[in-house]
């Protein structure tokens, strides 16, 4: 890395802060549109980086096109077909010297457009081909008509594609960025990172300067390493990815420091906790005891705890949470437990009531379905303090929910909530300079590197041991054609007094369609096994009905439960030893792992059958193989990260991680340890630079609502 010695240059600052109205073509209107996206100054535009590139430096013969690989082609219109059956459609077949034909397909088009495509007209088009009804096609290519005698030149560099801005078209935006780049200061005055923070970091060796990196990315010069740029692995991209990851990391660290500058009520008395421990029918596992000790250590201090507890499905997080809640209760304060689905929240309610009420602790329930007088009564209990522990769904965060003295906010399955929601619950307990302790639980194991980026504001504990006596689940992958064999399998399990789940999934995410499919399966299975007690749950049922069915299943009255993925999280019926998942090829690894975690909770040998529809895509095959090979949530999470990238793993709403401009946590995960080290060095040496870096990349928009 080029040393960036002049780390504070007021000249740079002055240019960087110039309002965009200095550019020609930016009047009040355009400035407003840009401002709406946080683009106010020249620096903002310099750092508005291309999301992608289009390679129009060459023409690809139609015969050599490959599905999924974007390309530019040129050809002569051979045939045009316009149809209005169903929805309007325009198909234009073009051919070239390679003796092959490509279809350009449009679903939205104007009459003038149709007129352009006279047979014999030469067209240049760019897009991503896919397999069509006959040969390859490109849907909605960008294209231009080449008039007679016109011989347009090929681009000599890659075309940058910028994140779209409402009201400012791509051509205008490119021009504005071009103008802004002309004012990019020469030399190294823009470097914020002193060279010595990179010393000894192998991944930072031989990277371009910040200025060079920006120029390369905005205007890749001829002769650039095109494949590397398209793959996002170019040194210029790495240079900026490091800065961006660093900025985010520092911002999270700062949030954490800010949060911990508040006070929090120390929770130390453990009489109730010990009483619960004695009453439990089991002893805590070593891992549970260790994590509980970590939590107690945090809660005993007068600063807010910020702790994430990771534990694989069935590792016993709930009882640890219950014990933490008792610490708050014993100090005369309140604890809240929020879960992402009603079903899961209800399970928590049942568990907490069973554990805490015998100790004289009042546990109340609040969900969206609690309305009218009942709701008023619960709200009064929460506000008055009679409700010592409050369990519920998102409803806990609604306006009107006022705690008398919330000391501990527990959020289960954090990945299903946004960070803002976690903070909203925390804010319910802020008073004066005191904020509640926060405990976040997740069963989605997050690879260590990713956790570092996503949760730099949290301490992480792992319950990395399952309660004793569980036998690992045997997983079988079967083609759907072999479905009939399963009937015997289910009968056998039920004959032994065991229970089974049949999970229906569909790619369609409409509740209605999925509920319908589950209904059909339910009817079919009932016909095939009239001797079994079979029940159905799905998201469209009334809460009371769902609850009744789940209770019957838990009590063993129902032998086979046909369900949608509503049972994914939290459902706990140790006697269930067989799970069948239909269309397993359509689910992601994390979801499959969650579902499978519903069995193998008792001592009986359990199995999980993954039914798939042929043909399997390569990715789907790999997922199913991974499921067959391992039960280890952490191994599965690493594999998931490889296969799908981090956005899906964390949930895109997670932390704004999806909002990175250039970094990609899947691709750049290997950079994170480096970023962490650099971050520490920078905070030690020059906290003011850390601040400036965060401002540059993240701007005034604070990542977390307010910490």
User: Contact region for ligand ADP (CB under 6 A) — 106-114, 314-322, 357-365, 665-673?
Assistant: 314-322
Alpha-carbon distance of 200 to 203, in angstroms, equals 9
- Whether the CA torsion 427, 432, 433, 435 is positive or negative: it is negative
- Closest chain position to ligand ADP (CB): 316
Q: What is the side-by-side order of every strand in the sheet holding 136-139?
A: 130-131, 136-139, 101-106, 89-95, 71-83, 122-127, 142-146
Q: Give the side-chain half-sphere CA count within 13 A for 344.
A: 24
The three-point CA angle 221-214-186 to 5° equals 95
Q: Which stretch binds ligand ADP (CB under 6 A): 138-146, 307-315, 400-408, 432-440?
A: 307-315
* Distance of alpha carbon 577 from alpha carbon 608, whole angstroms: 8
DSSP string, 522-564: HHHHHHH-TTS-EEEE-TTS-HHHHHHHHHHHHTTS-SEEEE-
- What 3-state class would DSSP assign to 461? strand
315 binds ligand ADP (CB under 6 A): yes
**284 vs 536, which CB is nearer to ligand ADP?**
284
Q: Which is nearer to ligand ADP, 285 or 607 (CB)?
A: 285
For residue 593, give the H/E element and its range.
helix 589-596
What is the per-residue binding string for ligand ADP in 429-468, x denoting contact by CB under 6 A?
--------------x-----------------------x-
Backbone angles phi, psi at 460, to 5 degrees: -115, 130
- Scan residues 584-613 and list those touching ligand ADP (CB under 6 A): 601
- What is the rounded end-to-end Cα distance, in angstroms, of the chain? 34
Question: Should residue 284 be labelled a site residue for ligand ADP when binding is judged by CB under 6 A?
Answer: yes
Minimum CB distance to ligand ADP, residue 444 (Å): 11
- C-beta of 56 vs 416, nearer to ligand ADP: 416
Sheet containing 406-412, strands listed edge to edge, beginning at the edge strand earlier in sequence? 363-366, 389-392, 334-338, 406-412, 437-442, 306-311, 459-463
Binding segment for ligand ADP (CB under 6 A), chosen from 167-175, 279-287, 612-620, 668-676, is 279-287
Which residue lies nearer to ligand ADP by CB, 124 or 601? 601
Quick one: tokens of 153?
């030149």
Query: Which residues sit opposite 74 in a β-bridge?
Result: 124
Per DSSP bridges, beta strands 159-161 and 52-54 are: antiparallel
Q: Select 602 or 673, whichever has its Cβ closest to ligand ADP.
A: 602
Closest approach of Cβ 24 to ligand ADP, in Å? 60
Q: Does 572 bind ligand ADP (CB under 6 A)?
A: yes
Which listed range, 25-33, 46-54, 316-324, 588-596, lies at the site for ligand ADP (CB under 6 A)? 316-324
Residue 471 sits at the vertex; the CA angle it makes with 470 and 476, to the nearest 5 degrees, is 135
Provide the mask over 499-538, with x wherever binding to ligand ADP is found by CB under 6 A and - wherever it is not: ----------------------------------------
Residue 457 C-beta: closest distance to ligand ADP, Å: 23
Question: Where in 349-452 does DSSP place strands (E)?
Answer: 363-366, 389-392, 406-412, 437-442
CB-wise, 194 or 314, nearer to ligand ADP? 314
Which range in 200-208, 306-314, 617-625, 676-684 contacts ligand ADP by CB under 6 A?
A: 306-314
Choice from 129, 208, 265, 311 touching ligand ADP (CB under 6 A):
311
Q: Does 316 bind ligand ADP (CB under 6 A)?
A: yes
Q: 10 Å Cβ neighbour count for 112?
A: 7
Min dist. Cβ of residue 644 to ligand ADP (A): 22
Distance between CA atoms of residues 447 and 462, nearest Å: 12
Q: Does the footprint of ligand ADP cover residue 632 (CB under 6 A)?
A: no
- The yes or no reply on residue 295 touching ligand ADP (CB under 6 A) is no
Residue for token pair 């508040």: 262
Residue selected from 70, 75, 314, 646 as contacting ligand ADP according to rule CB under 6 A? 314
Judged by CB under 6 A, which stretch of 207-215, 220-228, 317-325, 393-401 contacts ligand ADP?
317-325
Beta carbon of residue 74, minimum distance to ligand ADP (angstroms, whole number): 58
Of 56 and 598, nearer to ligand ADP (C-beta) is 598
- Dihedral of CA atoms 621, 624, 625, 626 in degrees, nearest 10, equals 120
- For ligand ADP, the closer CB: 314 or 646: 314
Q: Please count the CA atoms within 13 angstroms of the CA of 378 that sit on its side-chain side.
A: 21
Which segment (142-150, 281-289, 324-332, 520-528) binds ligand ADP by CB under 6 A? 281-289
Rounded to the nearest 10 degrees, the angle between the axes of helix 286-299 and helix 317-330 is 30
Say whether residue 567 binds ligand ADP (CB under 6 A). Answer: no
Contact 614, 620 (CB under 8 A): no
Site string for ligand ADP, 12-51 (x = CB under 6 A): ----------------------------------------
Cβ-proximal residues to 604 (8 Å cutoff; 6+ apart), any chain: 471, 496, 498, 575, 577
* Rounded-to-integer distance, Cα 575 and Cα 605, Å: 10
Q: Nearer to ligand ADP by C-beta: 317 or 593?
A: 317
Short-list 592, 641, 562, 635, CA closest to 477: 592
54 vs 413, beta carbon nearer ligand ADP: 413
Instruction: Tell which one of 165, 313, 366, 370 touches ligand ADP (CB under 6 A).
Output: 313
Of 317, 333, 428, 593, the one binding ligand ADP by CB under 6 A: 317
Please count the residues of this chain forming the interface with ligand ADP, following the rule CB under 6 A.
Answer: 16
Which residues of this protein are in contact with ligand ADP, per CB under 6 A? 282, 284-285, 288, 311, 313-319, 443, 467, 572, 601
């Amino acid at each position: 890395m080029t040393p960036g010695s002049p780390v504070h240059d007021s000249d740079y600052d002055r240019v960087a802060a110039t309002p965009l109205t200095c550019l020609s073509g930016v009047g009040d209107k355009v400035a407003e549109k840009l401002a709406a996206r946080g683009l106010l100054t020249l620096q903002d535009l310099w750092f508005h980086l291309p999301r992608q590139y289009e390679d129009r430096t060459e023409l690809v013969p139609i015969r050599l096109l490959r599905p999924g690989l974007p390309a530019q082609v040129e050809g002569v219109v051979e045939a045009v077909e316009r149809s209005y059956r169903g929805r309007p459609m325009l198909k234009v077949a073009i051919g070239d010297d390679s003796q092959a034909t490509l279809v350009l397909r449009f679903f939205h088009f104007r009459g003038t457009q149709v007129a352009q495509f006279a047979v014999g007209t030469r067209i240049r088009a760019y897009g991503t081909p896919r397999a069509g009804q006959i040969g390859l096609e490109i849907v909605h290519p960008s294209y231009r008509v080449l008039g007679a005698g016109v011989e347009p030149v090929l681009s000599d560099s890659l075309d940058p594609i910028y994140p779209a801005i409402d009201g400012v078209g791509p051509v205008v935006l490119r021009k504005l960025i071009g103008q802004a780049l002309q004012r990019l200061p020469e030399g190294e005055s823009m470097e914020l990172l002193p060279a010595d923070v990179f010393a000894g970091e192998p991944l930072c060796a031989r990277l371009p300067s910040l200025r060079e990196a920006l120029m390369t990315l905005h205007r890749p010069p001829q002769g650039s390493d095109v494949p590397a740029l398209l793959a996002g692995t170019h040194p210029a991209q790495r240079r900026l990815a490091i800065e961006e990851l660093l900025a985010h990391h520092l911002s999270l660290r700062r949030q954490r420091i800010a949060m911990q500058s508040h006070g929090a009520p120390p929770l130390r008395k453990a009489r109730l906790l010990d009483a619960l421990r004695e009453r439990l029918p089991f002893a805590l596992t070593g891992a549970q005891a260790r994590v509980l000790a970590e939590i107690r250590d945090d809660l005993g201090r007068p600063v807010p705890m910020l702790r994430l507890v990771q534990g694989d499905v069935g590792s016993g997080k709930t009882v640890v949470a219950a014990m933490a809640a008792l610490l708050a209760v014993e100090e005369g304060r309140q604890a809240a437990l929020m879960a992402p689905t009603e079903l899961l929240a209800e399970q928590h309610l049942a568990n907490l009531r069973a554990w805490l009420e015998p100790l004289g602790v009042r546990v109340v329930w609040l969900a969206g379905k609690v309305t009218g007088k009942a709701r008023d009564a619960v709200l009064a209990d929460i506000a008055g303090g009679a409700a010592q522990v409050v369990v519920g769904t998102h409803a806990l965060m609604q306006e009107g929910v006022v705690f008398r003295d919330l000391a501990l906010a527990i959020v289960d399955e954090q990945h299903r909530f946004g960070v803002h929601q976690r903070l909203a619950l925390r804010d319910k307990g802020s008073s004066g300079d005191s904020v509640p302790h926060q405990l976040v639980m997740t069963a989605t194991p997050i690879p260590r590197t990713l956790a570092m980026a996503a949760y730099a504001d949290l301490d992480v504990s792992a319950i990395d041991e399952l309660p004793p006596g569980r036998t690992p689940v045997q997983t079988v992958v079967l083609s759907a054609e072999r479905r009939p064999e399963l009937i015997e399998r289910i009968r056998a399990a039920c004959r032994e007094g065991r229970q089974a789940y049949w999970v229906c999934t569909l790619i369609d995410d409409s509740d209605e369609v999925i509920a319908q499919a589950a209904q059909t399966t339910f009817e079919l299975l009932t016909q095939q096994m009239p001797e079994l007690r079979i029940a159905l749950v799905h998201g469209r049922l009334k809460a009371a009905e769902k609850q009744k069915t789940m209770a019957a299943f838990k009590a063993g009255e129902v032998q086979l439960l046909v369900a949608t993925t509503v049972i994914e999280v939290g459902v706990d019926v140790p006697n269930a030893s067989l799970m069948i998942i239909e269309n397993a090829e359509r689910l992601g690894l994390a979801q499959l792992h969650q579902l499978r975690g519903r069995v193998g909770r008792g001592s009986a040998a359990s199995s999980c059958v993954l039914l798939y529809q042929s043909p399997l895509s390569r990715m789907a095959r790999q997922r199913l193989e991974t499921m067959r090979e391992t039960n280890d949530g952490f191994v599965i999470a690493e594999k998931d990260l490889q296969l799908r990238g981090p956005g899906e793993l964390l949930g895109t709403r997670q932390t704004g991680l999806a909002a990175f401009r250039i970094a990609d946590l899947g691709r750049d995960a290997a950079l994170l340890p480096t970023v962490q080290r650099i971050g520490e060095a920078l905070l030690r040496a020059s906290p003011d630079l850390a601040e400036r870096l965060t401002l540059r990349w993240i701007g005034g928009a604070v990542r977390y609502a307010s910490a």
